[in-house]
Amino acid sequence: MIVASMVDVVKRYGKLQALDHVSLSIRKGEILGLLGPNGAGKTTAIRVLAGLIGADSGEIMLRGERQDVNNIRLKQHMGLVTQEVTIFEELTAEENLRFFGGLYGVKGELLRRRVKETLEFVGLSEYAKKEPGKFSGGMQRRLNIACALVHSPDFLIMDEPTVGIDPQSRNYILESVRCLAQNGTTVLYTSHYMEEVQAIADRIVIMDQGRVIADGTLEELIGRIQHEETIRITVTNPSSALTESFRAIQGVKTVTQKGADYTIVSGASSGNLNRVLAVAQQSGGVSNMAADKPTLEDVFLTLTGKKLRDGEASA
């Protein structure tokens, strides 16, 4: 079942085309990773989807209804984790949750219970009465997420929720996202950190310069690109004869030797790992072996011609 979709959506800011005929869909209960460098159009896509800004053209559907800035009712079922930490520093953690819960019409005993449960979920129960100005960056990020969860949304949009935090807090947040999805929440997760998207997303949409350039599971995306397999092996008895034996294996393109270390590059899906191992064992033995698998980074590089590192796309 499709929870949200965008069909042929265009959004311009003056001469800048922030969204260029963007189409994507999100299925119930999945984590959709929206990946792209800064300026790719991810935040604009999210804001259009959340009904914060209108699109110039195209159709945005949410729970089977047309989404636009005036459709206040649809927002009831949605939670938004903003890229910036958007909490009130002069209110305590608990008051922040009471405020945002109240905006969604959660009241009384239910609100008290939801505030307590949400603070427990993000691990901030013991800081309920503290003002977030005194929190660490990671704790503020967790409170930022809690504010979007307090009304129990069934569709959660997370816009780069881990920017600028320590690895421990990042892992905590990623684990929380998995947990939410297991409990049936549909999550749209945007990031420019490949490893995050690779780790948690069921499906990935890659955006660049306002366009969707790829959409699929990690395996599908990797399967679409032409990639070489690289095997790194350290042998006990290196020799020129062994080098020639590696070269003779079908599909091997290049063999590089540095002392006892060999780097063997084959064509995509050549399945040469076992053959290389067998040849090396025949000549005396193997002390170390590794095969480089293609990653999302390779997919991105192939599709855009750019590398994506910490949000900075470099040609």
Residue 38 found at the interface with other proteins (CB under 8 A)? no
CB of 81 to other proteins, least distance (A): 8
**DSSP H helices in 122-227:** 137-149, 167-182, 194-200, 218-224
Residue 105 found at the interface with other proteins (CB under 8 A)? yes
Residue 95 found at the interface with other proteins (CB under 8 A)? yes
Segment holding 17, helix H or strand E: strand 16-27
Of 102, 164, 271, 284, which one interacts with other proteins (CB under 8 A)? 102
Residue 91 found at the interface with other proteins (CB under 8 A)? yes
Compare residues 143 and 222 and give the one whose CB is closer to other proteins: 143
CB of 233 to other proteins, least distance (A): 51
Residue 50 found at the interface with other proteins (CB under 8 A)? yes
| Site for other proteins, residues 59 to 78, rule: CB under 8 A | 72-73, 75-76, 78
Task: Give the phi and the psi of residue 21 in degrees, each rounded to 5.
Answer: 55, 55
Residue 128 found at the interface with other proteins (CB under 8 A)? no
Residue 99 found at the interface with other proteins (CB under 8 A)? yes
Q: CA 13, CA 27: separation in Å to the nearest integer?
A: 29
Pairing of strands 57-62, 65-66: antiparallel
Q: How many residues bind other proteins (CB under 8 A)?
A: 29
Residue 86 found at the interface with other proteins (CB under 8 A)? yes
Of 10, 12, 25, 88, which one interacts with other proteins (CB under 8 A)? 88
Q: CA 103, CA 37: separation in Å to the nearest integer?
A: 32
Of 9, 24, 80, 296, which one interacts with other proteins (CB under 8 A)? 80
As given in the structure block, the two tokens for residue 5 are: 């979709």
Instruction: Tell me the C-alpha to C-alpha distance, in Å, between residue 113 and each of 97, 107, 181.
Output: 11, 10, 21
Please give the DSSP secondary-structure letter assigned to residue 109.
H
Residue 87 found at the interface with other proteins (CB under 8 A)? yes
- The β-bridge partners of 289 are 233
Span from 27-35, 45-53, 179-187, 224-232 in contact with other proteins (CB under 8 A): 45-53
Pairing of strands 252-258, 261-266: antiparallel
Contacts 24+ apart (CB under 8 A), 168-171: 168/138, 169/136, 169/137, 169/138, 169/139, 169/141, 169/142, 170/138, 170/196
Residue 104 found at the interface with other proteins (CB under 8 A)? yes
Residue 82 found at the interface with other proteins (CB under 8 A)? yes
**Do residues 240 and 287 lie in contact, with contact meaning Cβ atoms separated by under 8 Å?**
no
Q: Which residues bind other proteins (CB under 8 A)?
A: 47, 50-53, 72-73, 75-76, 78-80, 82-84, 86-88, 90-91, 95, 99-100, 102-105, 147-148
